[in-house]
Amino acid sequence: MATTTASVSISSSDLQLGNRLSISATSTLMKTGLTTGLEIMEMGKNNLTVADSHKALYEGGVAAGDRDQASYVYLCNDATEDTSYIEVGIHDTIMGRLYAGDWMFMPYAQGDNAAEISIEAEGGTCPYQYAIFATAKTLIDSDQA
Amino acid sequence: MATINATISVSSDIMSYSTSINKTMTMTKADTCNGLEETSGLNSKKFNAVTAVVIVSNTEGTATKANKVYIRNTGSDKAENFYVSLNASGSAAGTTESIGKLYGGDWMLIPWVATAATTHDICVVPSTAEPMSLEWMVFSE
């Protein structure tokens, strides 16, 4: 059984005066509802140009068995210009803007086959890195007879 | 101007070679290098009903800005989860617009545009009526 551990720490000494912020959390990522570790992973690095418009970083559950499962997404914008950001959405709903140097990590339910993770570069080309950790992924049929 | 740093570390042995992700970001305002200055503070709540609840209203952030939202299931039960979605009416996978499930101990940190509409409220639904707890925090401009 594979073990995947995701940790976060958030800190600030001056966000709230007199109250130092320090949050730490660690989770071992398991298959849906189980104590068995995830066994599917995809990682990549690419460039996203403004001209690319909206692209699907990861398709929603193509097969019914892939949907509504425990999956997680990491995405990082490696751009260096403050005005270059990746607009991240789920299908046609914009979730947020990932500015230069920002990263995000979230669960991803793949609720249906129209729940792709959508990314679009704004303000300039955005190099990005991503990783997907999933419970299930059914390969789509090949056109080979 | 405040300085808020967030660091992620992921390690995995899914592949035949070990994988490691380490990245630190400083939360800045949109289009600048100036740090975010506002926060909701850390919220904590116990849930004991399988009912959709808006934990972050679209009014807590600003559209077209660089808001961030941190959410964590503070429990340890990997069989139960909080279903997280965008949209006040989101209540299950497939509804507009599902994000994912936070099982016991799971956390998430996402950018959030806070468009002035209930379509951008952040909603959670516990998977059980047994007591479960969640903590969350909004960082905004």
Find the CATH number of the domain harbouring A89: 2.60.120.10
Query: Per-residue pLDDT for B94 more than 70?
Result: no
For residue B25, pLDDT over 90 is answered with yes
Identify from B72, B78, B95, B96 which residue to disrupt to test chain A contact, counting A C-beta atoms within 10 A and taking the largest count: B78
Cβ distance A109 to B83 less than 8 Å, yes or no, reads: yes
Q: What's the pLDDT score for residue B32? A: 92
- Residue B92 has a pLDDT of 65
Q: How many domains does chain A have?
A: 1
Per CB-CB distance under 8 Å, the chain A contacts of B68 are 96
In a domain, A13, yes or no: no
Asked if B23 contacts B119 with a C-beta cutoff of 8 angstroms, the reply is no
Where exactly are the structural domains of chain B? 38-140
Range of the domain at A80: 38-134
Q: Write out chain A residues lying below 8 Å of B17, CB-based.
A: none
B window 42-81, beta carbon within 8 A of A: 42, 64-68, 70, 72, 78-79, 81
Per-residue pLDDT for B47 more than 70?
A: yes
What pLDDT score was predicted for residue B112? 96
Q: Indicate whether A63 belongs to any domain.
A: yes
Residue A62: inside a domain, yes or no?
yes
**A77 forms bridges with which residues in the sheet?**
A128
Contacts of A91 in chain B (CB under 8 A): 97
User: Which residues neighbour A33 within 8 Å (Cβ) at sequence distance 6 or greater?
Assistant: A70, B78, B79, B81, B103
Whether residue A83 lies inside any domain: the answer is yes
Confidence (pLDDT) at A41: 95
- Quick check: is A3 in a domain? no
> Does B131 touch chain A if contact means CB atoms closer than 8 Å?
no
Pick the CATH number of B38-140 from 3.90.1150.10, 3.10.450.50, 2.60.120.10, 3.40.50.920: 2.60.120.10
Q: Looking at the domain assignment, is residue A91 inside a domain?
A: yes
- Locate the chain B residue with the closest alpha carbon to A33: B79
pLDDT in tens, chain A (145 residues): 899 999 999 999 999 888 899 999 999 999 988 889 999 999 999 999 999 999 999 887 777 778 888 999 999 999 999 999 999 999 888 999 999 999 999 999 877 777 889 999 999 999 999 999 998 888 888 888 6
DSSP string, A7-57: EEEEEEEEEETTEEEEEEEEEE-BSTTSSSB--EEEEEEEEE-GGG-SEEE
Residue A145 distance to chain B (closest CA, Å): 31
A-chain residues within 8 Å CB-CB of B39?
A: 15-16, 21
Q: Which two tokens stand for residue B52?
A: 């959709």
| Contact (CB, 8 A) for A65 and A101 | no
Give residue A136's pLDDT. 84
Asked whether residue A6 is domain-assigned, the answer is no
Average pLDDT, chain B: 92
Residue B118 confidence (pLDDT): 79
